[in-house]
Structure 1
Amino acid sequence: MWAIRRASVRIRSQPLPSITIHACDAKFDTSSSYTGNIGFGGPSPPISDGSLLLRNFSFQARGSQSLFIGYHSFSSQAGSESEKELIKEADMSESESESENELGLLDTEEGIAETKGRERKGLSGLCKVVVESSSAPSNVKNALDKWVEEGHELSRSEISHAMFELRRRRMYGKALQLSEWLESQESIEISERDYASRVDLIAKVRGMQKAESYIEKIPESFKGEIVYRTLLANCVLNNDTKKAENVFNKMKDLNLPVTVFACNQLLLLYKRTDKKKIADVLLLMEKENVKPSLFTYRLLIETKGMVHDITGMEQVLETMKAEGLEPDLRLQSALARQYVYAGMNEKARDVLKEMEGSNLNENRGVCSSLLQIYASLGSVDDVKRVWEACNNPRLEECMNAIEAFGKLKKVEEAEAVFDLMTKKWNRLSAKYYTSMLKVYANNKMLVKGKEIVKQMSESGCRLGPWTWDALVKLYIESGEIEKADSILNKASKQLSMKPLFSTYMLLLDQYAKKGDVHNAEKIFYKMRQVGYVSRYRQYDSLLQAYINAKAPVYGFRERLRADNIFPSKTLAERLVLVDAFKKTAVSDLLD
């Protein structure tokens, strides 16, 4: 089963905090290593001959070379804008890959049916009541009470459909209100899945601390693996490594099963924050006899691709096939994106050709992915060809076509698709308007961007984090940074959930470029305030602000240490440039 370890990237290692796995119980420990532990503080663990998946992801903990590049090194060596966009696309696909159905928050049959038929004609009665009521908790409750009093049936399928639609529309605040109302109904039998769904919604709307407090109130008989893995997934969503490891350890303490979902969440987290720990997770999976899923292999393929280890990436693919798994559409898309990112366009086209099959008209399911990846290749003709194959286009195809044409700077073509979409569907949710808003933002078309926002307001769309993100980018690209800052400030007060991490980083990076230390520090503080854990990415940008301002920085190393971040060689060298206490020839003489 385990088959990859010879593919490797040899890059100079940086010291990292000791995160170890106890071989006896496969449990993460943030304390220092001791004899018998498997981790970074001692010799590498023995690997069985069959553990090739783990073997290909090994690294030298103490040597001058490392088989994995840390996230911090990668971010400091960012390449072209197109590469950054590809990475962002990969992250977006990750965040959506483990859907609510895979997480276990939806009734299985209903969840699958809804996933395959996302463009249902109209909403169910229950969902419509929630969507059309005002956001005030009392109004939602009163509307639901009235709906039941009118004799409507409150079936499990009705509830599942309503929850699915609210989540799909990212109306997490209203979904939470519905969940709270359902729990108050004596006629509804609450399951562990319902409690887990509530945990997920609380974490998204009110924060992790409130979600953890709610778990304490759940009856012991319902505090199972689904509840805790839901909490784990939200820790990963927030890139909170320490809390994620604590939740994982808690699951082990409670003797809950180690599932491939939980392991995948750790892999996803370490792919973003500390790639060297990926080997530990693979070792854990082997010891717990957890078989890798397609998502596991996709994460490993993307990790290898991100550091340009194409040989290793291809060996992961071969290992997967040897285990009897065939790549699905998402994995093929990830593979093609990584080839594009590595500049291997012909290999990317080979994958895309395989995805298309012999008849694109009969293989409509791949069109949305093809539109995006062909746009990344810069192929206008292929994007047009795929779009023409979308007879009677679906909403998702329209949205992806808009974004693809926008990426290719074909604004008129994007506008034509948007016009078709608005005529075909009477009422669109905010995310479809946002796709056009992103096109205007990327092409610095402020006036047209404002017009789209006005249309959204007039159609009654609720502006969510993704819309605010596009708005902030629109003003930044138009050179109005102060206005963008003001918009983000309003968003943080109006949203029922916090603005995106990327939205804050847009502003932090802009202030860094300007050498505006005061505002860079302000954004840095706000990110921490709303719950985003300070990681290398924020510190890297903040340090750039000091460098560009040619201003001395005090206590930066202490701040990094407090957040358990160890600077890469590149960051350490840059830090010397603005270190207020750095040694010079004159200071040495004076000493």
Structure 2
Amino acid sequence: MWALRRTSIGLTLRSQELYNVGTFRVQLMPNTLVEYEDAAPDSHQMKHDRFLSTGHTFYRTGHASPKFTVSRRELSSQADASCTKDDDNDEEMEMEDPLIELEVDGDRDSVESQTDLFEGDKDGGKQHNELELSDTESDLDAKNSESRNKRSELFKAVVNGPVDSALNKWVEKGKELSRQEITLALLNLRKRKMYGRALQVLEWLESNKKLEFTEKDYASKLNLIAKSHGLSKAENYINRVPNSFRGELLYRTLLANSASLNNLRKTEDIFNKMRKLNLPVTPFACNQLLLIYKRIDKKKIADVLLMMEKENVIPSPFTYKILIDVKGMSNDIDGMDQIVETMKAQGVELDHQTQASLARHYASAGLKEKTEALLKEIEGENLKENIRVIPTLLRLYAILGRVDEVERIWKVCESRPPRIEDCLAAVEAWGKLKKIEEAEAVFEMMSNKWKLSAKNYSILLSIYTRLKLLNKGKDLIKKMGDSGCIIGPLTWDALVSLYIHAGEIEKADSVLQKAMQQNKMKPLFTTYMTIMEQYAKRGDVHNTEKIFYRLRQSGYVSRISPFHVLTQAYLNAKLPAYGIRERMKADDLFPNKALAEQLVLLDPFRKSPVSDLLD
């Protein structure tokens, strides 16, 4: 068993130089994982920042001041802990699945065929980068990829129209409601982000006693409630679950949903409750803490690792991947490499997604030779026999600007029937290299071969958006409509971005409103934020508040980034803002360090040394 160990070298500030520069050093050695945040607090906030090994208690002073006490089996922190950044709409979220232990930064390289996917959720879809609970965690017994890609007859029956009516007719016709058929229908609904409809199916099955619920079924229902109606409704639902089924799986589902919303205080509360209920401390639960701390409060990663060591929780491969990503994001390449060495020493295999994550960080650090060496390792001896890595190679060589390598790999694809995931990666790679004609040619080939979904179109749309090709983007959206694609939240997001890049913010706003009125779907969080940020830059408080209100109407609450943007709007308008702290408190949110500094500037009663003299 691999144990996380700490040494005094990594737990204390060892030199006055560290005090002078105001940063923490990351100490990571084989069998020793110690993670501090690269931050620059004032020296008076740092002088007691250390572990007290006698009681395994971690104290901090200053603004953050979290406290972690292993011996009390409790994790706690001040709600106003300093945050390094807010990742509500961070691209990084696309790398992570908060509910299943997938690879960091690698899910885009294991794309299933999406030729039949709908876009969005007719019941009000969540953000498109939010992933599902795995079938092993919540969705009954569908375990093989073949069944995951099938469309069930039951799904076809419930996908349109009232769910209750469709299920009643199903039963009246004498059709069997087998667990396998139910599982497949729910998988298809969740893949399309149709959480509300999937929830209605489970509720009908439960009320009509057509399915004997297991712990997995209750967890699946809780997950769908959280996605459709919010975390508080899901938390209340636990009280209605029979006591015999209120186990670790149910609470870990709630924990993961909370972590995916970046709700730090609630995530810690749920974890503490799990411990008070004496539920087992699993790598999955610890990974949820690591994920949210990675995004919000990296200082606490060390606390989780210490707890895992004390509780003999064996790190999963995903634990290592999170730590690799943390190191890579902080540009600590040596630390990242040491984690890899520790993985190898413990016999943990580096799959190609982990290698892809490493390669991305090497590329970001400008280590071109090291990146290319790793890509050759990923490719292997015979690319034709290792086709699953083709999307990874296309994207990463494009990041390096290697047109020749992208051409070589694409020729390998063309020598055999390319898969749709190969084509999508090629379009993305050519777009990254600003080779528009090549990207369009691959896309045209795809459209002639497969019936494409709006999600497929969105890749080319995003390229047009990034390169500010408004007319091409409009033509592509028209083509989508003509082909019968459902124009939903993902397409709206691209269209809004197109108009924003063209400097037409009011047009972007009106297009979004028209789309919502026509389709009754919920826009992505990022779509609202794109418009809101532009209004805030102008100092347009009225319209910034308007978008803020619409965000809340759509259910996007308990997120700190909209408050950042709203505060910035008032600052840019040079207007005082009243009650923002109170509005945040109503959402169970507290200002992080950056927002607190903004709010001080907005305080109409703030006095400076000069004003004191004048008074």
- TM-score per shorter chain, which class? 0.7 to 0.9
Aligned residue among 91, 112, 119 for 2:144: 112
Q: Kindly indicate whether the alpha-carbon contact (under 8 Å) linking 2:581 and 2:590 is maintained by their aligned counterparts in 1.
A: no
The residue aligned with 1:79 is: none
The residue aligned with 1:251 is: 274
Query: Is residue 2:25 matched to residue 1:23?
Result: no
Query: Is residue 2:291 matched to residue 1:268?
Result: yes
The residue aligned with 1:420 is: 445
Q: Kindly indicate whether the alpha-carbon contact (under 8 Å) linking 1:17 and 1:564 is maintained by their aligned counterparts in 2.
A: no
Instruction: Report how far residue 230 of structure 1 moved.
Output: 1.1
The residue aligned with 2:106 is: none
The residue aligned with 2:407 is: 384
Tell me the alpha carbon deviations over residues 403-440 of structure 1, each in whole angstroms, 9 at most, x when there is no partner: 222222222222222222222223x3331122222222
Q: Equivalents in 2 of 1:410, 1:213: separation in Å?
A: 52
**More displaced 10-residue stretch of structure 1: 178-187 or 559-568:** 559-568
Instruction: Report how far residue 353 of structure 1 moved.
Output: 1.7
Query: Is residue 2:461 matched to residue 1:429?
Result: no
Aligned residue among 107, 126, 132 for 2:154: 126
Q: Equivalents in 2 of 1:438, 1:470: separation in Å?
A: 6
Aligned residue among 497, 516, 520 for 1:473: 497
Aligned residue among 220, 224, 228 for 1:205: 228
Query: Is residue 2:114 matched to residue 1:91?
Result: no
The structure in which a higher percent of residues are helix is 1
> Aligned ranges for residues 105-504 of structure 1 at < 5 Å?
105-107=138-140, 110-114=142-146, 120=149, 123-131=151-159, 133-134=160-161, 139-390=162-413, 391-426=416-451, 428-489=452-513, 498-504=522-528
TM-score by length of 1: 0.80
Q: Kindly indicate whether the alpha-carbon contact (under 8 Å) linking 1:7 and 1:309 is maintained by their aligned counterparts in 2.
A: no
Q: Equivalents in 2 of 1:95, 1:465: separation in Å?
A: 20
Letter in 1 for 2:591: I
Instruction: Report how far residue 472 of structure 1 moved.
Output: 2.2
SS of the residue 1:444 aligns to: coil
Q: Kindly indicate whether the alpha-carbon contact (under 8 Å) linking 1:399 and 1:432 is maintained by their aligned counterparts in 2.
A: yes
TM-score by length of 2: 0.78
**More displaced 10-residue stretch of structure 1: 383-392 or 488-497:** 488-497
Tell me the alpha carbon deviations over residues 515-545 of structure 1, each in whole angstroms, 9 at most, x when there is no partner: 323333433454455233242x444444443
Instruction: Report how far residue 30 of structure 1 moved.
Output: 4.1
CA separation of 1:148 and 1:430: change in aligned 2, threshold 3 A = farther
The residue aligned with 1:61 is: none
Q: Kindly indicate whether the alpha-carbon contact (under 8 Å) linking 1:336 and 1:348 is maintained by their aligned counterparts in 2.
A: yes
> Aligned ranges for residues 514-533 of structure 1 at < 5 Å?
514-528=538-552, 530-533=555-558
Instruction: Report how far residue 19 of structure 1 moved.
Output: 3.7
CA separation of 1:460 and 1:215: change in aligned 2, threshold 3 A = farther
Q: Kindly indicate whether the alpha-carbon contact (under 8 Å) linking 1:501 and 1:532 is maintained by their aligned counterparts in 2.
A: no
Q: CA RMSD in A?
A: 3.2
SS of the residue 1:289 aligns to: coil
Aligned residue among 497, 509, 512 for 2:533: 509
Q: Equivalents in 2 of 1:301, 1:488: separation in Å?
A: 38
Query: Is residue 2:565 matched to residue 1:565?
Result: no
The residue aligned with 1:48 is: none
SS of the residue 2:97 aligns to: helix
CA separation of 1:577 and 1:221: change in aligned 2, threshold 3 A = closer
Instruction: Report how far residue 257 of structure 1 moved.
Output: 1.2
Instruction: Report how far residue 214 of structure 1 moved.
Output: 2.4
Q: Kindly indicate whether the alpha-carbon contact (under 8 Å) linking 1:329 and 1:355 is maintained by their aligned counterparts in 2.
A: yes
Q: Kindly indicate whether the alpha-carbon contact (under 8 Å) linking 1:7 and 1:311 is maintained by their aligned counterparts in 2.
A: no
Letter in 1 for 2:94: M
Q: Kindly indicate whether the alpha-carbon contact (under 8 Å) linking 2:64 and 2:78 is maintained by their aligned counterparts in 1.
A: no
The residue aligned with 2:40 is: 12
Q: Kindly indicate whether the alpha-carbon contact (under 8 Å) linking 1:374 and 1:382 is maintained by their aligned counterparts in 2.
A: yes
Letter in 2 for 1:567: K
Q: Kindly indicate whether the alpha-carbon contact (under 8 Å) linking 1:229 and 1:262 is maintained by their aligned counterparts in 2.
A: yes
Instruction: Report how far residue 588 of structure 1 moved.
Output: 3.6
SS of the residue 1:111 aligns to: coil
Q: Kindly indicate whether the alpha-carbon contact (under 8 Å) linking 2:287 and 2:318 is maintained by their aligned counterparts in 1.
A: yes
CA separation of 1:496 and 1:159: change in aligned 2, threshold 3 A = farther
Higher relative contact order (CA 8 A, sep 6+): 2
Instruction: Report how far residue 465 of structure 1 moved.
Output: 3.7
Instruction: Report how far residue 554 of structure 1 moved.
Output: 5.4
Instruction: Report how far residue 267 of structure 1 moved.
Output: 0.7
Unaligned runs of at least 5 residues, structure 2: 5-30, 46-61, 102-131
CA separation of 1:103 and 1:260: change in aligned 2, threshold 3 A = farther
Tell me the alpha carbon deviations over residues 538-581 of structure 1, each in whole angstroms, 9 at most, x when there is no partner: 4444444344434455566777788322424xx67766766545
Seq. identity, %: 52
CA separation of 1:7 and 1:95: change in aligned 2, threshold 3 A = closer
Q: Equivalents in 2 of 1:231, 1:493: separation in Å?
A: 32
> Aligned ranges for residues 71-86 of structure 1 at < 5 Å?
71-72=84-85
Q: Equivalents in 1 of 2:261, 2:231: separation in Å?
A: 9
Q: Kindly indicate whether the alpha-carbon contact (under 8 Å) linking 1:169 and 1:429 is maintained by their aligned counterparts in 2.
A: no
Instruction: Report how far residue 263 of structure 1 moved.
Output: 0.8
Q: Equivalents in 2 of 1:70, 1:314: separation in Å?
A: 26
SS of the residue 1:21 aligns to: strand
Q: Kindly indicate whether the alpha-carbon contact (under 8 Å) linking 2:537 and 2:569 is maintained by their aligned counterparts in 1.
A: yes
**More displaced 10-residue stretch of structure 1: 273-282 or 96-105:** 96-105
Instruction: Report how far residue 330 of structure 1 moved.
Output: 2.0
Instruction: Report how far residue 366 of structure 1 moved.
Output: 1.2
Q: Equivalents in 2 of 1:458, 1:339: separation in Å?
A: 43
SS of the residue 1:469 aligns to: helix
Q: Equivalents in 1 of 2:496, 2:94: separation in Å?
A: 18
Q: Kindly indicate whether the alpha-carbon contact (under 8 Å) linking 2:493 and 2:526 is maintained by their aligned counterparts in 1.
A: yes
CA separation of 1:175 and 1:496: change in aligned 2, threshold 3 A = farther
Instruction: Report how far residue 326 of structure 1 moved.
Output: 1.7
CA separation of 1:584 and 1:112: change in aligned 2, threshold 3 A = same
Aligned residue pair count: 531
